[in-house]
């Protein structure tokens, strides 16, 4: 009998787990952008029932959102294997297949979706984009005609069609389609960009700039809009305006090669040689075989007297282009600067020989002829008439065009039309979207602590002792960021939650802690209500209830925002109710935090959480007051300076905001430096 009891005790805990509830919480975790936690929930659901298709499907969604495209494809395939009629899984699998460059396989998936539902807008859209990029104009035309017939008000469909018309050389038809797309959706950035391209090709630079101005007003964070407008301004002799646009593109994307290279060329023209050298060096660092940048850097280095760098760069150019006379002449200049007279004479001799040696001269003349033909071809391709400044396609490797600005031909720009958001499908990689600046997270109770978190927040101070937390077999910490649980930890807490009916009433607080660990904050609030009813003077229960209330509200608010993204109609009345609910939730949480301060006067985590709640409601002066009290008590509390800096910015006091951000950075909150830069 004893042996039997032991065996029963060791049976897997997941036999008691409700897979439906696990799946629901996992899907909520995805909406909350906690993809790692979501994967753990779906892992548990798979162990409970490995024959179900849905856990694999949702795990694929989470993996794709984290950038694990191969893992997403594999999970989607498993989901399809378990249920070949789950068409959402085919749509999902097509996304990573496209990312992996397997467009033919992605098209097979879209064909399955369209066989079931020929009017599926997302599948029609993406399949048409893929056919267009593969230059299968007949298939693309067939799908686009169907898309227009059944979704006549879908602006993106006309945008794709316009791209197809451009590919076929029909600029007039393309322009009409882009105009129709803009009539349906005036905020369609790519349509403005395409119209700017057409105007540019016709030398209508003012019109092209107007289109890009509109696009930038719609989406000010897209580098290509600035690089394109810079080129248009360059054509209008607006050098400073062009440089300003390239600078903006670099700020948005420090590794933007075209922006850095072109800005460097313009800097050489206006005499900013040190800045030009920095830009060329960054391009070479990112793209070591960019011989245009290497040669131009050598020219600038010679001008600045950096002869060693110039000689090194010019040697690379000569090894790559052994008949490029300007490289020998420039290296001779560098050698003279280094005092290496014999080397300089040798380079000058080689340059002269190439100019006067018949065989070498013929080769040079042939290269010059090829260069002229390429220049003529570029002009014919880019412009309808003469008079424009010459530019170089980024794919052109003719070194003799080293002085020309680079443009992106955008032939391979179809990826920007490929969508990851459609009914029945994934909402896309939301973690890549720019999120609003927020204070550091709330202080919460946890069985676990991130190793790197505590030293930054308060000189390794342990805030748990002041709460007189219940004694148990596990230590409870007070941290401001819940670490991600591994699978064993997650399963452990889930099994404890499911076995609670056998627990004693005095174990309610332990149940609440388990619910917090798996981010089920709604359940945690309900449990803590019962704890507080039994023990009205327990500060840890008030602290955690206040935190879980806010986190549960944020979770539900994220669901609402996702509904808006999906196109669900949300009325102004609903939005007003949302704000009233938020105010009520945050106010209740503030009452909990104040109760903690009554029970444990001056308790810093409660004071910080109180300020966080004030900030969340836009009560910035109250937040500043609470954070100032905290800072007086503990001047090493970096997160308090960071949060107060944000509150000062919100009230328009930039000077105090910058000062607090600087102090936060010195205390280890390094994200504050990025905020200072953005506020400049």
Residue in 428, 436, 362 with CA at minimum distance from that of residue 616: 436
Q: Which long-range contacts (CB under 8 A, 24 or more apart) does 279-287 make?
A: 282/254, 283/257, 286/255, 286/257, 287/257
Q: 39: pLDDT confidence band, cut at 50, 70 and 90? A: confident
- Please give the average per-residue pLDDT across 122-126, as a whole number: 93
Q: Which of 17-31, 366-380, 404-418 has the lowest mean pLDDT?
A: 366-380
- The tokens 């694929």 sit on which residue? 60
Q: 429: pLDDT confidence band, cut at 50, 70 and 90? A: very low
- CB contact set of 431 (below 8 Å; sequence gap of 6+): 33, 35, 65, 66
Helix (H) or strand (E) holding 445: strand 444-446
- Please give the average per-residue pLDDT across 311-317, as a whole number: 94
Phi-psi region of 84 (alpha: psi -120 to 50; beta: other; left: phi over 0): alpha
User: From the CB of residue 51, how many other CB atoms can be counted at a distance below 10 Å?
Assistant: 8
- Please give the average per-residue pLDDT across 253-282, as a whole number: 91
Strand, helix or coil for residue 446: strand
Q: What are phi and psi of 619, to 5 degrees?
A: -90, 75
Q: What pLDDT shows up at residue 26?
A: 85
Level-2 CATH architecture, domain 436-617 = Alpha Horseshoe (1.25)
Q: What is the pLDDT of residues 432-454, one digit of tens each?
A: 333 346 778 899 999 888 765 43
Q: 37: pLDDT confidence band, cut at 50, 70 and 90? A: confident
- Please give the average per-residue pLDDT across 490-514, as a whole number: 81
pLDDT at 2 over 80: no
| Spatial contact of 499 and 13, defined as CB atoms under 8 Å apart | yes
pLDDT at 413 over 90: no
How many residues are given for the chain?
680
Q: What pLDDT shows up at residue 661?
A: 83
Residue in 481, 491, 483 with CA at minimum distance from that of residue 456: 481
Q: What pLDDT shows up at residue 462?
A: 66
- Please give the average per-residue pLDDT across 587-611, as a whole number: 95
Q: Which of 44-58, 340-354, 572-586 has the lowest mean pLDDT?
A: 572-586
Q: What is the pLDDT of residues 318-361, one digit of tens each?
A: 999 888 889 999 999 999 999 999 999 998 888 887 777 666 55
pLDDT at 458 over 60: no
Separation between Cα atoms, residue 406 and residue 506, nearest integer Å:
72
Q: What pLDDT shows up at residue 424?
A: 32
Question: CB-hemisphere CA count at 13 Å for 574?
Answer: 9
Question: CB-hemisphere CA count at 13 Å for 590?
Answer: 18
Return the percentage of the chain with pLDDT > 70, whole number. Answer: 79
| Cα-based distances in Å from 358 to 351, 361, 426 | 13, 5, 65
Q: 658: pLDDT confidence band, cut at 50, 70 and 90? A: confident
Q: Output the average pLDDT for the chain.
A: 81
Q: What is the pLDDT of residues 514-573, one digit of tens each?
A: 999 988 899 999 999 999 999 999 999 999 999 999 998 887 775 454 343 333 344 444
pLDDT at 164 over 90: yes
pLDDT at 145 over 50: yes
For strand 444-446 and strand 477-479, is the pairing parallel, antiparallel, or unpaired? antiparallel
pLDDT at 403 over 90: no
Q: What pLDDT shows up at residue 11?
A: 35
- Please give the average per-residue pLDDT across 73-98, as a whole number: 94
pLDDT at 155 over 60: yes
Q: Kindly give the residue spans of alpha helices, DSSP state H, lying in 357-459.
A: 358-382, 453-458
Most confident of 371-380, 422-431, 494-503: 494-503
Q: Which of 218-232, 311-325, 387-401, 578-592 has the lowest mean pLDDT?
A: 387-401
pLDDT at 394 over 80: no
Exposure class string for 255-282: b at 16+ Cβ within 10 A, else e? ebbbbbbbbbbbbbeeebbebbbbbbbb
Q: 621: pLDDT confidence band, cut at 50, 70 and 90? A: very high
Residue in 292, 233, 289 with CA at minimum distance from that of residue 268: 292
């Amino acid at each position: 009998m004893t042996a039997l009891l032991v065996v029963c005790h060791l049976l897997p805990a997941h036999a008691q787990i409700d897979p439906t509830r696990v799946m629901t919480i996992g899907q909520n975790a995805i909406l909350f952008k906690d993809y790692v936690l979501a994967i753990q929930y779906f892992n548990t659901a798979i162990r409970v029932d490995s024959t179900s298709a849905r856990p694999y499907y949702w795990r694929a969604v989470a993996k794709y959102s984290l950038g694990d495209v191969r893992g997403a494809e594999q999970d989607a395939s498993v989901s399809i294997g378990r249920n070949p009629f789950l068409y959402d899984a085919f749509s999902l699998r097509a996304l990573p297949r496209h990312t992996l460059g397997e467009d033919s396989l992605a098209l097979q998936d879209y064909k399955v979706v369209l066989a079931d539902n020929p009017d599926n807008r997302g599948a029609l859209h993406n399949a048409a984009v893929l056919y267009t990029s593969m230059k299968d104009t007949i298939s693309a035309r067939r799908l686009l005609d169907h898309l227009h017939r059944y979704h006549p008000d879908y602006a993106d469909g006309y945008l794709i069609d316009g791209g197809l018309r451009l590919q076929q050389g029909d600029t007039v038809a393309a322009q009409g389609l882009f105009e129709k797309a803009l009539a349906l959706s005036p905020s369609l950035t790519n349509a403005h960009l395409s119209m700017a391209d057409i105007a540019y090709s016709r030398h209508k630079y003012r019109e092209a700039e107007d289109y890009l101005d509109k696009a930038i007003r719609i989406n000010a964070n897209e580098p290509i809009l600035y690089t394109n407008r810079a080129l248009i301004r360059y054509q209008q002799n607006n050098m400073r305006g062009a440089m300003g646009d390239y600078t903006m593109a670099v700020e948005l994307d420090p590794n933007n090669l075209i922006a850095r290279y072109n800005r460097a060329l313009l800097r050489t023209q206006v005499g900013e040689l040190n800045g030009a050298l920095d830009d060329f060096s960054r391009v070479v660092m990112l793209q070591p075989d960019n011989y245009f940048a290497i040669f131009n850097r050598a020219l600038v280095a010679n001008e600045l007297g950096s002869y060693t760098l110039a000689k090194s760069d010019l040697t690379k150019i000569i090894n790559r282009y052994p008949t490029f006379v300007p490289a020998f002449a420039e290296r001779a200049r560098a050698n003279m600067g280094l005092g290496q007279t014999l080397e300089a004479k040798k380079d000058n001799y080689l340059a002269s020989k190439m100019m006067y040696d018949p065989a070498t001269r013929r080769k040079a003349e042939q290269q010059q002829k090829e260069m002229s033909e390429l220049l003529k071809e570029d002009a014919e391709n880019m412009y309808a008439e003469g008079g424009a400044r010459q530019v170089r396609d980024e794919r052109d490797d003719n070194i003799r065009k080293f002085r020309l600005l680079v443009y992106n031909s955008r032939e391979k720009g179809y990826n920007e039309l490929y969508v990851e958001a459609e009914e029945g499908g994934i909402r896309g990689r939301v973690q890549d979207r720019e999120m609003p600046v927020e204070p550091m997270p709330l202080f919460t109770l946890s069985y676990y602590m991130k190793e790197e978190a505590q030293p930054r927040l308060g000189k390794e101070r342990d805030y748990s002792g002041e709460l007189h937390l219940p004694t148990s077999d596990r230590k409870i910490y007070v941290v401001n960021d819940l670490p991600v649980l591994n699978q064993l930890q997650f399963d452990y807490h889930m099994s404890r939650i499911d076995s609670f009916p056998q627990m004693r009433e005095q174990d309610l607080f332990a149940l609440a802690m388990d619910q917090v660990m798996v981010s089920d904050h709604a359940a945690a609030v309900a449990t803590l209500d019962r704890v507080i009813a039994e023990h009205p003077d327990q500060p840890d229960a008030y602290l955690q209830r206040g935190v879980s209330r806010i986190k549960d509200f944020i979770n539900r608010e994220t669901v609402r925002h996702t509904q808006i993204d999906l196109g669900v109609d949300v009325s102004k009345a609903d939005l007003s109710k949302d704000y009233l609910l938020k105010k009520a939730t945050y106010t209740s949480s503030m009452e909990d935090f104040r109760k903690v301060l009554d029970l444990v006067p001056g308790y810093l985590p409660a004071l910080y959480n109180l300020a966080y709640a004030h900030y969340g409601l836009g009560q910035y002066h109250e937040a500043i007051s609470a954070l100032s009290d905290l800072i007086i008590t503990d001047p090493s509390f970096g997160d308090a300076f960071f949060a107060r800096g944000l509150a000062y910015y919100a009230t328009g006091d930039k000077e105090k905001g910058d000062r607090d951000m600087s102090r936060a950075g010195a205390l280890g909150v390094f994200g504050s430096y990025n905020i200072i830069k953005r506020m400049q």
